[in-house]
Amino acid sequence: MPEQEMNIEEIKKQCIFCHIAAGRVASKKVHEDQKVSAVLDINPANPGHILLLPKEHFSIMPQIPDEDIGYLGMTAKALSSTLLRAMKCHGTTIFVANGVAAGQRAQHFIIHVIPRMENDSLSIELPERKISAEKLTEIKKLLLPAVKKTLGKAVEDLPEKPTETAEKKEPEHKKKSDSADLDDISRLLGT
């Protein structure tokens, strides 16, 4: 039965992640408060893969109140920092599959916080597809009215070609290698 035809109480009764978040199904919780539960994924992409679940049932991000999505984001940030320190990982992938077409398999909104190591063979890469300038302009024209309706404003038209590239703006002495960035992260985390 489609979710919109079911009442929220029926949905909650059938949602395994609502049961996990409420503590009615056994899990390996690493964090819990009044709004969220964070559990280890039983089929992790990498060891330490955390599922961050709102305790209230939401299927997709647009259903979540702004205050709650902000709280989820701050909690995901804290869990990412925790993984960097505790697991000594080199980075984290924070991932949301928002809707079936995006790969969402559960009917409960989930933020995945996945520890990453260099060469861990986990493939979460976005393909780089070519698109014409005309098609980008067409898409922008389509999106701007919807953005304005949703957010209350839209950006003014900017020049299509920036006058300076980001690389030109950044002084040579400010550029760092990836390993230097990892050293900075480790130093900040005290690891």
What CATH number should be reported for the domain holding residue 67?
3.30.428.10
Residue 147: band (very low, low, confident or very high) from pLDDT cuts 50, 70, 90: confident
Alpha helix locations (H) across the chain? Answer: 8-14, 16-22, 66-86, 133-151, 166-169, 178-189
Quick one: pLDDT at residue 158?
Answer: 54
Quick one: pLDDT at residue 6?
Answer: 67
| 124: in domain | no
The mean pLDDT value for 176-186 works out to 48
What does the buried/exposed string (b/e) look like for 86-121 if buried means 16 or more CB atoms within 10 Å of the residue's CB? Answer: eeebbbbbeebbeeeeeebeebbbbbbbbbbeeebe
Quick one: pLDDT at residue 5?
Answer: 57
| 172: in domain | no
Q: Pick the closest to residue 53 from 23, 85, 91, 84 (CA basis).
A: 23
Quick one: pLDDT at residue 49?
Answer: 97
Q: Which residues touch 19 (CB under 8 Å, ≥6 apart)? A: 25
| 146: in domain | no
Counting the structural domains of the chain, the total is 1
Residue for token pair 């760092």: 176
Render pLDDT for 22-79 as a digit per residue (tens, 0 to 9): 999 999 999 999 999 999 999 999 999 999 999 999 999 999 999 999 999 999 999 9
Residue 163: band (very low, low, confident or very high) from pLDDT cuts 50, 70, 90: low
Over pLDDT 90: what percentage of the chain? Answer: 61
Render pLDDT for 87-139 as a digit per residue (tens, 0 to 9): 999 999 999 999 999 999 999 999 999 999 999 889 877 889 999 999 999 99
The answer to whether 28 touches 20, Cβ cutoff 8 Å, is no
Quick one: pLDDT at residue 123?
Answer: 84
How many other CB atoms are found less than 10 A from the CB of residue 69?
Answer: 17
DSSP secondary-structure letter at 39?
E
63, with CB counted inside 10 A (0-12, 13-18, 19+), is middle
Owning domain of residue 96: 3-116
| 185: in domain | no
| 187: in domain | no
| 103: in domain | yes
Quick one: pLDDT at residue 155?
Answer: 73
